[in-house]
Amino acid sequence: MKSLLLLLISVMTLWSDAHIFVYHRFGDDRHPSTSTSTKELIKEFEFFKKNNYKVVTLETLVTKIKNQENIPDNWIVLTIDDNFKSFYRNGFEIFKKYGYPFSMFVYVEATQKKYPDYMSWKELKEISQYGSLEFHSYSHPHMTYKTDKFLENDFKKGLEIFQKNLGFTPKYFSYPYGEYSKRVKNIAKKFGFEAIINQNMGAIGKNSTVYDLDRNALVGKSNLPYFLKFRHLDAKWIEPKTYPKNSLLKTLHVKLKDHIKKASIYVSHYGWFTKNINSNEIKLDINKKLKNGRNRIIVSTKNMISTKLLIKDKYGTE
């Protein structure tokens, strides 16, 4: 009986949540805030290997979500933003050595105009044998500060050049700087992407939406156990949904799938605070003036987490 119970527990914990990670530069000491040393990269990959994590393709994970299937708790997806040449020089061989697939999101203008820090089309074709190439915009703009027309032209131009040089259309898109709004997301969805990736802290469960997939950034010396402990919190955000008028965050209203006793809340600039809930609904008066143009509101209970990005949209109507 005891053995059966342990087996059931192990099966239940196996089917839980996956995690998507994002890298930028590799072994580039000029940019420590966005670079991962080769030593640290090997350390992280050894951690995955020794702790029985399985690195799968982004496509594999997206398919699971679309099919509403349980996701193995040991799944990891590795993504790279910005096609920096440092990946080709310093990171690529390590990925190949461990046999880990990746998805690289291409900043098209940088390659098209041969910016010195970025990979060439030839180099991108070479690495595409080991990972997928996806879309990260043409001009890498702060999208919430651009008009609808600018954004539509940027998507169109970037995708045309991508297709012309690589011979296929990318399936997935990630926001430059991780910045987006409802307006920006709706414009991106017009271009037929199968999934859209953000850069919010969180995990991926079978109820995650493919048009708002959370990723954790791995830069410098990252605390992998900290990120991996988080699980997806099935939460419906009622308020706030967009950046509030006059920057005043009045109310937090979130509906949860399950009843909880306590929740921890994070608001950018103000930090964490804890509230007793005893409900499946969080409704709190916040009344805090947001200090930044880009803010994160996080709701966490036990080890489950849900993040909302609030960012000023110069051309948003909401």
The string of pLDDT tens digits covering residues 238-284 is: 999 999 988 999 999 999 999 999 999 999 999 999 999 999 999 99
Does residue 202 sit in the same domain as residue 92? yes
Evaluate if residue 235 carries a pLDDT over 90: yes
Does residue 226 sit in the same domain as residue 239? no
**Weakest-pLDDT range from 113-127, 165-179, 217-231:** 217-231
Does residue 123 sit in the same domain as residue 260? no
Structural domain that includes position 163: 2-231
Does residue 190 sit in the same domain as residue 295? no
Model pTM? 0.92
Residue 16: which pLDDT band, with cuts at 50, 70 and 90?
low
What letter represents residue 10's amino acid? S
Residue 11: which pLDDT band, with cuts at 50, 70 and 90?
very low
Alpha helices in the chain (DSSP H): 2-14, 38-50, 58-66, 85-86, 92-98, 108-112, 121-127, 148-166, 182-189, 224-228
What mean pLDDT do residues 47-58 have?
97
Is residue 318 included in any domain, yes or no? no
Q: Which residue has the higher pLDDT, 1 or 287?
A: 287
What value does the mean pLDDT of the chain take? 93
Q: Residue 10: its pLDDT value, please?
A: 38
CA distance 246 to 261: 32
Strands 19-23 and 75-81: what pairing? parallel
Evaluate if residue 318 carries a pLDDT over 90: no
CA–chain centroid gap for 243, Å, is 20
